Amino acid sequence: MGWTEYLDTHQARFVEELCDFIRIPSVSAKPENAGDVRVAGQWVVDRLTAAGIENAAMFDTAGHPVVCADWLHAGPDKPTILIYGHFDVQPAEPFDLWKTPPFDPTIRDGRVYGRGATDDKGAMLIPILAAEALLADTGRLPVNVRFFFEGQEEIGSPDLPPFIEANLDRLQADMIFSADGGQWDPETPQLILALKGVTSLEITVTGPHSDLHSGMHGGGVANPAQGLAHLLASMKAPDGRITIAGFYDDVVELSDEDRAAIAQVPWDEAAYLAQTGAPVTHGEPGYTTRENLWARPTFEINGLTSGWQGEGTKTVLPSVASAKVTCRLVADQSPERIFDLIAAHVAAHCPPGVTAEVKRNPGRADPFLVPAGHNATAIAGQVLEEVYGKAPYKTRVGGSIPVMSTLLDELGLHAVIFAFGHEDENQHAPNEFFRLPTFRLGQTAYVRLMQRLGE
């Protein structure tokens, strides 16, 4: 049976298997799900083995495990590729916004709904199925293939750098392809040429040693919530420009060519406003919204906590106020340097009467900018053009994949995103889904990629 026929004949089983995979609640952020992340890792080991991939094994790290496997019999004259993906998922809360339960996948309108369906379980299963089809068809793969899947991407891969350093022999390759990422839309491919980095932190402002009566003490002592509001307002101007000293110093400015390339990708302002529900677009002055989304750094408050959060009034002067913040970074910003600049800013601008402390939260990633002319990008683009019948858009994204820069540092290789989710599939949100036609198309694309690389 040829590989196309094999994929078609077995598609129903593959969808069942994807549903089994989604049923495992491998939420890396929640300690109570650590066992489930391991179960998902073992599921991946078993699935790789069933596909005919060799040496599939789970490896421990200081945190969640990783899975490695390989098939290395294509011969020394053929390239070795490393395929990356992650089997952990984001928390599914708030549960009540899901039409069907997040870990009880259901199929509606040719889509499978469930947490992790697109990010990244459906997408990371694709290359395994492509390899299975080729092995079933020809008994071999056209290139040497290594698989590298992790269980901690969604918390920033904190324990991967030491694992990678200690296991370079298992990861040695000529090219890296990421099965995490995505395509433009079901009809249009894309080549993602940049991912943002991230630094994650929490600012805590403290004042009195306990909450106080706001009438008896207001005007007598400083209010930490007011202090925090002042600090946050001092870091970003109302026009969208970040006002932390040195914040933009290391940013690689967009060249005229970069701006022209970005402008070639269609932008629909009305559709964006409809998608987000925001009244107008808003970002750093001097850049288009697309440029801000793709190529400029951000400072975003992700959570704010202080005082009475219930209904109505409680006349309290809170003793503590805190904010969770993440900054998305672009080349050549460093997450560590940006954290230091924020800490220095907070120290310099803390208003009188309160104290402010800044601490890093787990989750960091270096920005990732693929150099022009990277050879694997060209081949990936050709395969996408063949499979979709359309040239890929050249895009960037605001998301991050922390391990990409570790792989670059340790293996000297830029990953090429070769992945088949779409932006509208509710990643990290309620009602996440994956389109089954894309699931199938991605399998063909991975087969063709391996075949092209083996020619």
Chain contacts with ligand BES (rule: CB under 6 A)? 119-120, 153-154, 156, 180-182, 195, 198, 363, 365, 397, 399-402
Query: Smallest Cα–Cα separation from 112: which of 387, 418, 421?
Result: 421
Which of Mn ion, ligand BES, none sits in contact with 198, Cβ below 5 to 8 A by type?
Answer: ligand BES
Which of ligand BES, Mn ion, none sits in contact with 399, Cβ below 5 to 8 A by type?
Answer: ligand BES
Torsion, Cα of 224, 229, 230, 232 (10° steps): 120
Of residues 2 and 303, the one with the C-beta less far from Mn ion: 303
Residue 115 CB, shortest distance to Mn ion, in Å, is 11
Query: Smallest Cα–Cα separation from 68: which of 195, 174, 173, 192?
Result: 173
Angle at 199 between CA 197 and CA 200, to 5 degrees: 140
Of residues 70 and 120, the one with the C-beta less far from ligand BES: 120
Which of ligand BES, Mn ion, none sits in contact with 127, Cβ below 5 to 8 A by type?
Answer: none
Of residues 153 and 291, the one with the C-beta less far from ligand BES: 153
CB-count burial class (<10 Å; 0-12, 13-18, 19+) for 119: buried
Which of Mn ion, ligand BES, none sits in contact with 114, Cβ below 5 to 8 A by type?
Answer: none
Residue 120 CB, shortest distance to ligand BES, in Å, is 6
Which of ligand BES, Mn ion, none sits in contact with 397, Cβ below 5 to 8 A by type?
Answer: ligand BES
CA atoms within 13 A on the CB side of 105: 28
Residue 248 CB, shortest distance to Mn ion, in Å, is 27
Residue 449 CB, shortest distance to ligand BES, in Å, is 18
Token pair 């259901």 is found at 106
Which of ligand BES, Mn ion, none sits in contact with 181, Cβ below 5 to 8 A by type?
Answer: ligand BES
Residue 318 CB, shortest distance to ligand BES, in Å, is 29
> Minimal CB distance to ligand BES: which residue?
399
Binding site residues, Mn ion, CB under 5 A = 119-120, 180
Residues whose CB falls within 8 Å of the CB of residue 137, separated by 6 or more in sequence, listed in order: 1, 2, 3, 6
Which of ligand BES, Mn ion, none sits in contact with 342, Cβ below 5 to 8 A by type?
Answer: none
Of residues 147 and 294, the one with the C-beta less far from ligand BES: 294
CA distances from 389 to 180, 382, 383, 392 (A): 22, 10, 10, 9
CA 116/CA 428 separation, integer angstroms: 8
Residue 91 CB, shortest distance to Mn ion, in Å, is 11
58 within 8 A of 142, measured Cβ to Cβ:
no
Residues whose CB falls within 8 Å of the CB of residue 161, separated by 6 or more in sequence, listed in order: 406, 410
Q: Where are the alpha helices (DSSP H) in 87-141?
A: 122-138
Q: Where are the alpha helices (DSSP H) in 24-121?
A: 34-51
Residue 119 CB, shortest distance to ligand BES, in Å, is 5
Of residues 68 and 329, the one with the C-beta less far from ligand BES: 329
